[in-house]
Structure 1
Amino acid sequence: MAPEKDTFDLSGPTDLTHIDWNIPAHRRSVAASLVQGVYVLERDRQKNRLEHEALAPAWWEFFHFQLLRKLVDDADLSIFGAIYELKSPTSDQNHSAAQAPRFVIAFRGTIIKLDSFLRDLKLDLLFILNAFHKTSRSKIAMQAVRNLVSDVGNSNIWLAGHSLGSALAMHTGKNMAIVGDFLKTFLFDPPFVSAPIERIKTEKLKKRIRIASSLITAGLTVAMKGRHASPSSENSFTKLSEWSPHLFVNPADIICSRYVGYFKHREEMEKIGLGGIERLATQNSIRDLFLTAFGRESKLLHLIPSAKLTVNLTPSPYLRRAHGIRHGIRQWWRLDLNLECKQYYYK
């Protein structure tokens, strides 16, 4: 029997039969489903589900997409990404066709199965060590995105990813944005490497820790300028400010919840007159400043200047009853979530 989580008719957003690309919830649901399609592609491969037994196609065909290419990791031959193309919009979608993507490049996260888990776990650790951008998987993804943009332009291409795949979409999106190609990007549960400050219950204590961290980080940044810090790093961060990816975060998820405090703290620092200090601190971390001081290259993939942040405030018991989990992609294609959305711009 096929697992429920892989079967679109049992787990997918089957009620989304009429897509209005002008509606953010519809765009979110489709993007999340296409990411799930990559997960199921890899599980189909691992379980040798071929042709009529394959479960993955339903996750894109339901929304009138076709699979153009699988992205395969050269280390273990696992499928980690996919390039989809939207067929001609159906008649009920024509009024919103201008908001529809022509292509979507989607990346999966970690799969806890022996066939791919060791490779995924190694990449998770490299992300924590800020060395993810050096991996062959990252380079394969980057080249695929560059090739597609070169062939068709950047106006109708979406990037989407979940967890580790979100880090991959973040990396490719940032690199494209630096050269002026701003791709619409959907980042589901993107990992944030940081101390788990969001787990602290006392708001005053959290604020004090954040302010102290910003002051120390900004001070170290100023002290190191001219010695070790790259003069282009701040310019690159400023260039990125025009790119505003969609971040989808569950505050109960320790892997990505730090983004809530990251953007909220920047806003609070502006209000109390410390915006200049925070602008220095927000593009660095204490750990990576020390690594740079000792001559070790470090690239902070998770820090971004601007974003459309969506926080899932749906009660956890409800998500569990609905077969969702705090860090699961499945929560994000649901249309009945209690969400809080806010746009943050880097000044």
Structure 2
Amino acid sequence: MASDKQIFRLSGALHLTAIDWKNSYHRTSVAASLVQATYILERDRQEQRQGPQALAPGWWEFFHFQLYRVLVDDTDSSITGAIYEFKYPSYSSSYLELKPPRYVIAFRGTILKESSLSSDLKSNLQFTGNILHKSPRFQIAMQAIQEVISLSGAANIWLAGHSLGAAIALLAGKNMAKVGCPIETYLFNPPFISAPVDKIKNEKVKHGLRIASSLITAGITAAVSSNDQKQQREYSFQVLSTWIPYLFLNPLDHICSEYLGYFEHREKMAELGVGEIGRVATQHSIGSLFSTALGKDIEPTHLLPSAFLTMNMNCGQDFKECHGIHQWWTQDFQWQSKLHQFS
């Protein structure tokens, strides 16, 4: 049985009757709604809802999109992503001036249902092990992105994802930015691989742990990385620094909240006069350094040079609410935004 959150007329952004494509809240709401559409495409498949019974179409048709293609995991036939194509309304010429995206490629996160759970958990483990780039799910995503770029150009495309889907969108966005094709990207509650230092209430203890972690990371980097590896990682971060994805976090969501400390700590290290240590630490994780020591130069999937970070200050009460995609189009969304740019 479908929940209210799957039905657009009950839980969708009905208040956005006219989209201002220059308005950041409107753009965010559309991106989040299309990610939700991708979740519901898979729910429709699992529950065999077809034709008039399908619930997913309302989530894209309201914003004048149509389903262009679904991305399917070959192992279990689950829908992991979708490509939506914008169709200009015949009654409005203003859309031509405001330039909405021609295509939005959206990726869902984990669904706790038996028919897709195994492949979802496998992809989560691959992300944790920094080998998401080797997964068939990610390779299918990259192939689709490259095909759409060949059709429309990178400037006319958005990437969007939630949770595991945000990790896929992030890695794909990084790959394209490195080859000179930056794509506008919306990352909702992306996972951050780290101990939950941000949950520590004592600010002095928290900052002390972060400083110690940075010193350890910088020390291990010096010990296990060759000069060529250090220069390559620095160059990679510099290349990526001009790509600025939109990063959406809830401070009470332990899956993504560590991004807050990640960016804030880098600034504090610069203020303390040890910015170079902060620069080195922000490019590496302990896990990736152990891989380097074993002869595998693996770039951490989750680390970002730059981002336009938005926090939902109307934090919610439980984990599902704090981690959910629905918070990003609600009318009581109270955000606080800041640009973090690596230089």
Q: TM-score range with shorter-chain normalisation? A: over 0.9
TM-align CA RMSD:
1.8
1:206-217 equivalence runs, <5 A? 206-217=206-217
| Aligned positions, number | 343
Runs (5+) with no aligned partner, structure 1 = none
Contact 1:324 1:330 in 2 (8 A): no
Quickly say closer, same or farther: Cα 1:86–1:259, change in 2 above 3 A: same
Quickly say closer, same or farther: Cα 1:268–1:93, change in 2 above 3 A: farther
Contact 2:224 2:292 in 1 (8 A): no
Contact 2:220 2:289 in 1 (8 A): yes
Contact 1:166 1:188 in 2 (8 A): yes
Deviation of the 1:299 alpha carbon: 3.0
The equivalent of 1:168 in structure 2 is 168
The equivalent of 1:125 in structure 2 is 125
Contact 1:21 1:100 in 2 (8 A): yes
The equivalent of 1:250 in structure 2 is 250
The equivalent of 2:330 in structure 1 is 334
Deviation of the 1:335 alpha carbon: 2.9
CA distance, structure 2, for counterparts of residue 255 and residue 324 of structure 1:
11
| Letter matched to residue 59 of structure 2 | W
The equivalent of 1:221 in structure 2 is 221
CA distance, structure 2, for counterparts of residue 315 and residue 291 of structure 1:
36
Runs (5+) with no aligned partner, structure 2 = none
Deviation of the 1:168 alpha carbon: 0.5
CA distance, structure 2, for counterparts of residue 261 and residue 91 of structure 1:
47
CA offsets 1:21-56 (integer angstroms, 9 cap, x no match): 111100010000000000000000011101111000
CA distance, structure 1, for counterparts of residue 307 and residue 224 of structure 2:
28
Quickly say closer, same or farther: Cα 1:312–1:77, change in 2 above 3 A: same
Contact 1:22 1:96 in 2 (8 A): no
1:117-196 equivalence runs, <5 A? 117-196=117-196
The equivalent of 2:58 in structure 1 is 58
| Letter matched to residue 22 of structure 2 | N
| Letter matched to residue 103 of structure 2 | F
Contact 1:29 1:335 in 2 (8 A): no
Quickly say closer, same or farther: Cα 1:90–1:330, change in 2 above 3 A: farther
The equivalent of 2:282 in structure 1 is 282
CA offsets 1:161-192 (integer angstroms, 9 cap, x no match): 00000000001100000001110000000000
Contact 2:73 2:79 in 1 (8 A): yes
CA distance, structure 1, for counterparts of residue 222 and residue 96 of structure 2:
48
The equivalent of 2:82 in structure 1 is 82
CA distance, structure 2, for counterparts of residue 222 and residue 185 of structure 1:
33
Contact 1:37 1:57 in 2 (8 A): yes
Identity %: 54
CA offsets 1:188-209 (integer angstroms, 9 cap, x no match): 0000000110110001111111
Q: TM-score scaled to structure 1, two decimals?
A: 0.95
Deviation of the 1:231 alpha carbon: 4.5
My pick for the range that moved more, 84-93 or 236-245, is 84-93
CA distance, structure 2, for counterparts of residue 144 and residue 133 of structure 1:
14
